[in-house]
Amino acid sequence: MPALTFKSSKLLRAQDSFTSFAFVLPALVIFSIFYVYPFFDIFNLSLHEWNGISFKRTFVGFDNFSELGVDKIWWKSVWNAMYITIMALTLQNALAFALALACDREIRMKNFYRVVFFLPPVLSEIVVGLIWRWILNAEMQAGEHIGLLNHWLVQSGLPHLVHEWLSDPETALTCIAVVHCWKGFGWGFIMLLAGLQTIDRQLYEAAKVDGANTLSTFWHVTLPMMVPVILVVVILTVLGSMQAFVLILSMVGQGLVYHTEVPVTRILASMQGVNRFGYACAQGVCFAGILICISIFFKMISDRAKQV
Amino acid sequence: MEKDNYRTRNFLKYSFIHIVLASVAMTCLFPLFWMLRSSLMTQSTIYTDKNLIPSEIIFENFATAWVQGNFGIYFMNSVIYTVSVVVLIVIIASLAAFAFSRLEFPGKNIIFYMFVLALMIPLPGSFVPLVVLMNKIGLADTRIGYILCMTNVGLSMSILMLKTFFDKMPSDLEDAARIDGCGKLGIWWNVALPLARPAIAVIVIFNSLNVWNEYILAQLLLSNKSLMPLQRGLMVFQGSNINNDPVLMAGLTIAVIPIILIYLAMQKHIIKGLASGAVVG
């Protein structure tokens, strides 16, 4: 009976598909509840005025966004994040690249350096922030500086440099940015070193035979070969640094009025501080838009770099 | 003469490189040393004694932190969260990645690209609706709620990594297992999982570090002290009125030691995993 076998094979196939689908079901359920639903809900909430508790949510259209457009503190926080990002792009990545170049050769203790440089990136931002807060502490106790940095400055005869590092608005953000670089450079170092080591050594030999010196070898061989890896590092640095905020919470808390705020701490403040959940979501959507624009910008640059 | 000159120059060059590398290595290690040192002092000597090795070393701060500072509870919570999240991620992600790579069902590609897309779209404020949701379904301030949220955080990346691994795996062994009468689940458990050990090692390490170091969801979801993990506990202790710096430093040391041990034991995997990502990306 051919008809019957046909039917049962169809049934079998449906059953097979179903059991295969069961393999992705747990992942799909968790992903839908904890990622997809909040993903759409953030857009929905951003159009409402809501205090997070009451049953009443008022639909306000794009009011939150137009309020955000003229919110000076918000744009100040965006600028602060950009400041940290620019510091990370220059200071952190230049240091990472220089160290990677130094390690890209037969050198003793290479593995030791590699392990030590990657130590700060595996620590949590809370731990890093609290340790540096302790070192940068500017309080005095019985005429002595508590913090190590100020103590050292006095000891080395530079008392005029003693400073309230984390409570002075002028220096707080820079201190945070420097600690952020301290925590992050080892990660860029590992990525860049891995890239350097994929470059064929014969290229260097050929450059040497052609009479190129160290600088022109770097400029004409190393740098062009490194463009793809450098772009990956740059994009990840930008996305990571723009969204860095736990370090700020652990180093200065949310106390310093607006001078060390970044967008994510503003979102937290809208949510926990003044209970404006809709406004917090609008901030989240706006910041996501900014990040996506930055990503697209770098994607265009990298496409252009690949053509050349 | 010329050779000597070359040698001296080479020696100077390498000495310079080593001095630079060693001083950067020092700045990486010193803050950790300072943390450990400060945790071994009393509340009075910590402010006055600035020697590298303090004149008086005590270990009481660790006991104080562990018991009075609640760091014992926080530590156990961190262990519970890290272990359960990592186990869940390995099982759920490997099941899904195996299906995406080897099995057929309608909608497979769409579902897979959804996970990939989630990795590419940054959504910094997504914790706001997540907290609203957790409150609504009663999972806020529960262990299971935090575990599920953290499982979701690591899921997409782990699925992607495992799928790339399964795609490259030869299918001979699976065919042999199928001939021997293994079902899909049997192949996943007996063939795919053991072969994927290197990829699973990377997933275990990165997700452990990630969960152990996580702060913001713990801050938003957990307000009961007995449920808090270490990072949250550190901030609670820091923000409390008890201004006891040596005990805080002991707490930090407690939070750091497991990470450093795991890191030192696994550094080859960690660095290799990261480096391969750099070259592929």
Summarised one tens digit per residue, pLDDT across range A57-111 is 888 888 899 999 999 999 999 999 999 999 999 999 999 999 999 888 878 888 8
Question: What CA–CA distances, in Å, run from A98 to A185, A279, B10?
Answer: 11, 43, 18
Q: In this structure, what CATH number is given to the domain that contains residue B126?
A: 1.10.3720.10
Cβ pair B274, A187 in contact under 8 A:
yes
Is the confidence at residue B148, as pLDDT, over 80? Answer: yes
pLDDT of residue B56: 80
Chain B CA closest to residue A189: B275
- DSSP H helical ranges for B169-213: 172-179, 184-187, 193-195, 197-213
Q: Is residue A167 part of a domain?
A: yes
pLDDT in tens, A118-144: 999 999 999 999 999 999 888 877 777
Is the confidence at residue B280, as pLDDT, over 70? Answer: no
B81 or B13, higher pLDDT: B81
pLDDT in tens, A17-59: 888 999 999 999 999 999 999 999 999 999 998 888 777 888 8
Place of tokens 């037969």: A106
pLDDT in tens, B20-39: 999 999 999 999 999 999 89
Mean per-residue pLDDT over chain B, rounded? 88
- Tell me the average pLDDT across A265-290: 92
- Which residues in chain B touch residue A245, judged by CB atoms under 8 angstroms apart? 216
- Tell me the average pLDDT across A197-201: 85
A109: three-class secondary structure by DSSP: coil
Residues 6+ apart with CB under 8 A from B56: B41, B42, B45, B49
- For residues A58 and A47, give the distance between their C-alpha atoms in angstroms, rounded to a whole number: 9
Q: Is B70 left (phi over 0), alpha (psi -120 to 50) or beta?
A: left
Cβ pair A217, A208 in contact under 8 A:
yes
Q: A141 forms bridges with which residues in the sheet? A: A144
pLDDT in tens, A3-20: 455 557 788 888 888 889
Q: Is residue B202 part of a domain?
A: yes
User: Domain total for chain B?
Assistant: 1
The per-residue b/e assignment along B250-263, b for 16 or more CB within 10 angstroms, e otherwise, is bbbbbbbebbeebb
- For residues B59 and B38, give the distance between their C-alpha atoms in angstroms, rounded to a whole number: 11
User: Domain total for chain A?
Assistant: 1
**DSSP category for residue B153:** H
pLDDT of residue A132: 94
A140: three-class secondary structure by DSSP: strand
pLDDT of residue A43: 93
Please give the residue range of the domain that contains residue A97: 70-307
pTM, 2 dp: 0.90
- For residues B255 and B272, give the distance between their C-alpha atoms in angstroms, rounded to a whole number: 25
pLDDT of residue B2: 62
- Tell me the average pLDDT across B232-241: 86
Residue B49: how many other CB atoms lie within 10 Å: 15
CA distance B152 to chain A (A): 6
| DSSP character string of B15-29 | HHHHHHHHHHHHHHH
- For residues A305 and A291, give the distance between their C-alpha atoms in angstroms, rounded to a whole number: 21
Please indicate if any CB of chain B lies within 8 Å of the CB of A148: yes
pLDDT of residue A34: 93
Is the confidence at residue B146, as pLDDT, over 70? Answer: yes
Instruction: Report CB contact under 8 Å: A190, B151.
Output: no
Instruction: Report CB contact under 8 Å: B114, A31.
Output: yes
Q: In this structure, what CATH number is given to the domain that contains residue A284?
A: 1.10.3720.10
A162 or A281, higher pLDDT: A281
Q: Is residue A115 part of a domain?
A: yes
Is the confidence at residue A1, as pLDDT, over 50? Answer: no
Cβ pair A116, A190 in contact under 8 A:
no
Q: Is residue B258 part of a domain?
A: no
CA distance A20 to chain B (A): 6
pLDDT in tens, B113-141: 999 998 888 888 899 999 999 999 999 99
pLDDT of residue B278: 53
Q: Is A107 left (phi over 0), alpha (psi -120 to 50) or beta?
A: beta
Please give the residue range of the domain that contains residue B121: 69-240
Please indicate if any CB of chain B lies within 8 Å of the CB of A43: no
B81: three-class secondary structure by DSSP: helix
Q: Is residue A89 part of a domain?
A: yes
Tokens representing residue B190 in the block:
């007996």
**DSSP category for residue A308:** -
Range in A227-231, B72-76, B86-90 with the lowest mean pLDDT: A227-231
